[in-house]
Amino acid sequence: MSELTDLYQEVILDHNKAPRNFGVLENADRTADGHNPLCGDMLRVSLVLEGDVVQDIRFEGSGCAISKASASIMTEAVKGKRVAEVEALFEGFHELMTGDPSVKGEAGAELGKLAVFEGVREFPVRVKCATLAWHTLEAALREDGKVASTE
Ligand code: ZN
């Protein structure tokens, strides 16, 4: 295992142990649930939108280390961002998770801490754990009342 992978793993373990923005927002104006039946991960994302800016965001739920760490890092990444920026981040993250490993798009450079999930790409089943929080966030932003599912 490379040193880089160790570092990434440390970040994931840290966020799993001490998730950031964990809980429910009492004054949330958008909420969505997400479910990854393959692994059993369940998430709820709640957020406060002010205009088109994600003013505040929290998540709760139970799941594996990767799903929890991904949700935790996601909340940090999107807080204070405009919806269009959030969508660009999701696109970049999705590309990182599913794209050609030899291609690093422009979006990749903007991902910051989200890049710790790069190694997850090697494990297709785990990719769903890592992207669940993002699908749930999308559902909350769309507010269509559907439960986001990775299946
Ligand atoms: Zn999982």
**Is 72 domain-assigned?**
yes
Using the mean position of ligand 1's atoms as its centre, give its distance from the Cα of residue 12 in Å: 13
Residue among 14, 44, 46 at smallest CA distance from 29: 46
Q: Is 35 helix (H, G, I), strand (E, B) or coil?
A: strand
The two three-digit tokens of residue 76, written as one number: 């940090």
State the total domains in the chain. 1
Strand 41-50 relative to strand 30-36, pairing: antiparallel
Using the mean position of ligand 1's atoms as its centre, give its distance from the Cα of residue 52 in Å: 30
Using the mean position of ligand 1's atoms as its centre, give its distance from the Cα of residue 102 in Å: 26
Using the mean position of ligand 1's atoms as its centre, give its distance from the Cα of residue 50 in Å: 31
**Is 148 domain-assigned?**
no
Residuewise pLDDT in 10s, the chain (151 residues): 456 677 788 999 999 999 999 999 999 999 999 999 999 999 999 999 999 999 999 999 999 999 999 999 999 999 999 999 999 999 999 988 887 655 555 545 578 889 889 888 888 889 999 999 999 999 999 876 678 888 7
- The CATH number of residue 65's host domain is 3.90.1010.10
**Is 51 domain-assigned?**
yes
**Which structural domain range is residue 14 located in?**
3-143
pTM, full prediction:
0.89
Using the mean position of ligand 1's atoms as its centre, give its distance from the Cα of residue 148 in Å: 14
**Is 150 domain-assigned?**
no
**Is 138 domain-assigned?**
yes
Using the mean position of ligand 1's atoms as its centre, give its distance from the Cα of residue 149 in Å: 12
How far apart (Å, rounded) are the C-alpha atoms in residues 30 and 127? Answer: 25
Rounded to 10 deg, the angle between the 83-98 and 124-142 helix axes is 160
The two three-digit tokens of residue 119, written as one number: 């190694």
**What's the angle, vertex CA 111, arms to CA 37 and CA 109, rounded to 5?**
140
HEC string for 67-124: HHHHHHHHHHHHCCCEHHHHHHHHHHHHHHHHCCCCCCCHHHHHCHHHHHHHHHHHCH
